[in-house]
Amino acid sequence: MQVSLANCISPNFKDLHKHLKDDVNTEYWLRGGRGSTKSSFISIQLILGIIKDKEANTVVFRRFENEIRDSVFGQLKWAVNKLGVDHLFKFNVSPFKITYIPTGQVILFKGADNPQKIKSINLGTGYIKFAWFEEVDQFGGMEEIRNILQSIFRGTTKRQIAFYSYNPPKSSRSWANAESKISKPGRVVHYSDYRQVPPEWLGDTFLANALHLKDVNEDAYKHEYLGEETG
């Protein structure tokens, strides 16, 4: 079965998708409001990346382990089904793991509240090419992120890529807001919001709630739906 990527990736990420295909950068910061589909985009890229590179593995992080099931694990399952490759992947929940059946490559899920499990990651094959920090603003800061990456990004000369996704906190003094504004070689920062997403992807209820909030509380609308720093 052939699946059109145009039906999987919102137009607001078309250029970023092409950018990732060039494989020249090492980290991507995706800032956006509700409904921007940034998490959907990352999950699609991770599945495509594993299929493309037969040695690539992925580790996905949330700040707390108990947040994994209802967020990133479900999001990756959605991506596998959306791409029509669910017959090629196996899903385990104890521990949370997705295995690419043809090669044994894996997507592992970890909570930053259990550092010992991060240090003891063992792969059956290949190397860790991708790391994804979902809701990165909830982590303790860039030092915590660096410590995690130092544990998992090593032992290979191949390019390794980190994704950071989050809805910007109100305050510009938030560490995540401040960090994403720092220029760094290999860093790409992408801004998105629901207005660039096909309306039928979001549904009438989502759009009606967004417009209602805009009418009654424009500051809250700008922060929640446009991802603006309003503090």
Q: Tokens representing 199?
A: 């309306």
For residues 97 and 108, the answer to whether their CB atoms sit within 8 Å is yes
What's the CA gap between 117 and 197, in Å, rounded?
37
Give the per-residue pLDDT at 68.
Answer: 92
Token pair for residue 104? Answer: 């044994």
Cis check for the bond before 11: say yes or no (omega within 30 of 0): no
d(CA 152, CA 117) in angstroms, rounded, equals 11
Tens of pLDDT, residue by residue, the chain (231 residues): 677 888 999 999 999 999 898 888 999 999 999 999 999 999 999 999 999 999 999 999 999 988 998 899 999 999 999 999 999 999 999 889 999 999 999 999 999 887 766 776 778 789 999 999 999 999 999 999 999 999 899 888 899 999 999 999 999 899 999 999 999 999 999 999 999 999 999 999 999 999 999 999 999 999 999 999 988
Contact by Cβ (8 Å): 46, 130: yes
Instruction: Supply the DSSP symbol for 179.
Output: H
Distance between CA atoms of residues 39 and 76, nearest Å: 9
100, 67 in Cβ contact below 8 A? no
What pLDDT shows up at residue 1? Answer: 62
Active site residue 224: no
| DSSP-assigned letters across all residues of 54-85 | TTEEEEEEESSGGGSIIIIIHHHHHHHHHTT-
pLDDT, residue 124, reads 75
Q: What is the pLDDT of residue 120?
A: 67
Phi-psi region of 203 (alpha: psi -120 to 50; beta: other; left: phi over 0): left
pTM exceeding 0.85: yes
Residue from 27, 67, 134, 135 carrying the catalytic annotation: 135
187 burial (CB, 10 Å; 0-12 / 13-18 / 19+) is middle
